[in-house]
Amino acid sequence: MYMLCCDLEGVLVPEVWINVARWTGIDELKLTTRDIVDYNALMKRRLEILKQHGLTINDIQKVISLLELMPGALDFINWLHGRVQMVVVSDTFREFADPLLEKIGWPVLFCHHLTIDKDGNITDFNLRQTEAKKKVVEALQNLNFKVIAIGDSYNDITMLRQAEHGILYRPPQNVIDDNQDIKVVASYSQLKHLVSEILETNSL
Amino acid sequence: MYMLCCDLEGVLVPEVWINVARWTGIDELKLTTRDIVDYNALMKRRLEILKQHGLTINDIQKVISLLELMPGALDFINWLHGRVQMVVVSDTFREFADPLLEKIGWPVLFCHHLTIDKDGNITDFNLRQTEAKKKVVEALQNLNFKVIAIGDSYNDITMLRQAEHGILYRPPQNVIDDNQDIKVVASYSQLKHLVSEILETNSL
């Protein structure tokens, strides 16, 4: 049997931090792992900025609740039902994701979580485990699933390589250049076509 | 973080084979693991009976599509959203489950699958792995989740014992008698109360 592991931000929904930066007007929150390579250092900086500006989890959740899904994302998810099961695999945080998950029908999400004090201040972040995305694929393979994995960025590559079928969905050019052996698709209709092809040419 | 592993038949939906027996009028399909202890022998007998009567996957799916959820099941599932994530863990087959999953919003299902020929005859059944339910709990624990598991019968016991919190939902008296150390609940409202209690007394 197949299971589809799908990244969240950049594939089904827009990038959360870029939109938090846009809505709050705090340009420094636009920083990504392309600017600060060390993810832990980047997250620490983000939490410092939130603290400086007195922004709580409620403010962030408000911004996230205003985000629209990528056009076509809901249709893609509904198309999967009855064809192949999907789990969402993301480096986001549980507390950020709920407003987004609600919009796509509450799929299961494998991600991290935050530490929040009684006033709603985000005091720390907790990675569920190292190499979290890849390990979800491995866990499913140990349960005798074959995995189709979809992602768009550097933090998806080990997951895509671990899966039986890894697909890059609208990645930036540098991710394509650095991973020329991984299939790239540019639209949900191409993605549907490729997923159909994989499911049809491989038995349950 | 917590993940809830919920059995399907007997907890969220009625027993499939008992209803297939009822709708087809074939009494022998009422046989369960209480009559034939060896699950493989039981499934082989069931498939023989379907063959004798010329019943295909389409007939079975039609019966299943007529089944109603347990009263309160959908409300329970919706109540979980945003509180704790749920996956469904069942010894049913992929091809039986789809009409039921649609009614409860397509949760992820860990189960087995059938071999079906081009005419829709069920020619074989394929267990995803041995001790399939317990192994889902172990996989989630390896991904650093704590697990609340809910089931109603003997085939759930190893899953319930592997989980951090195992709960029997309206089990038959013999299952209660044989597992007196496992908590028993008799309604979804009791289940909600117990799940809330677990989530509140244990941090993320």
- Taking the CA of residue B173 and the nearest CA in chain A, the distance in Å comes to 32
3-state DSSP assignment of residue A160: helix
Instruction: Walk me through the domains of chain A, giving residue ranges and CATH numbers.
Output: 2-13+69-113+128-201 (3.40.50.1000), 17-66 (3.90.1470.10)
CB contact at 8 A, B135 and A143: yes
What average pLDDT score do residues B42-64 get?
94
B137 DSSP 8-state letter: H
Query: Who among A86, A105, A128 is closest to B105 (CB)?
Result: A105
In one-letter notation, the amino acid at residue A199 is L
Query: Would the CB atoms of A98 and B82 count as touching at under 8 Å?
Result: yes
For residue B7, which of B139, B121, B155 has the smallest C-alpha distance?
B155
Contacts of B129 in chain A (CB under 8 A): 143-144
pLDDT at B22: 94
Q: Label residue A31 by pLDDT band (50, 70, 90).
A: confident
> Which of A89-103, B27-41, B80-94 has the lowest average pLDDT?
B27-41
CA distance A81 to A112: 26
Kind plus residue range of the DSSP H or E element containing B3: strand B2-6
What's the average model confidence in pLDDT over A21-50?
88
Is pLDDT at A33 greater than 90 in this prediction? Answer: no
pLDDT(A204) > 60? no
Q: How confident is the model at residue A202 (pLDDT cuts 50, 70, 90)?
A: confident
- Give chain A positions within 8 Å (CB) of B202: none
| CB proximity list for A177: less than 8 A, separation 6 or greater | none
Given an 8 Å threshold on Cβ–Cβ distance, is A106 in contact with B109? no
pLDDT band of A203, cuts 50, 70, 90: low
B40-67 mean pLDDT: 94
Query: Taking 60 as the threshold, does the pLDDT of residue B96 lie above it?
Result: yes
**Of B29-33, B120-124, B171-175, B194-198, the least confident:** B29-33
Question: DSSP string spanning B98-136?
Answer: HHHHHHTT---EEEEEEEE-TTS-EEEEE-SSTTHHHHH
CB pairs under 8 A between A and B: 63
For residue A37, pLDDT beyond 90 = no
- Categorize the per-residue pLDDT at A13 as very low, low, confident or very high, splitting at 50, 70 and 90: very high
**Banded model confidence at residue B203, pLDDT cuts 50, 70, 90:** low
CA distance B143 to A111: 10
Whether residue B128 and residue A87 make contact (CB cut-off 8 A), yes or no, is: no
Other beta carbons within 10 Å of A180: 7
Chain segment A134-180, per-residue pLDDT in tens: 999 999 999 999 999 999 999 999 999 999 999 999 999 999 999 99
Percent of chain B with pLDDT over 70: 99
Confirm if B108 and B16 have CB atoms less than 8 A apart. Answer: no
Query: Average per-residue pLDDT in chain B?
Result: 94
Spatial CB neighbours of A188, under 8 Å, sequence gap ≥ 6? A72, A73, A75, A76
Per-residue b or e along B170-192, where b marks 16 or more CB atoms closer than 10 Å to that residue's CB: bbeeebeeebeebeebeebeebb
Q: Please say if B9 is a catalytic residue.
A: yes
pLDDT, residue B36, reads: 77
CB contact under 8 A, B144 and A129: yes
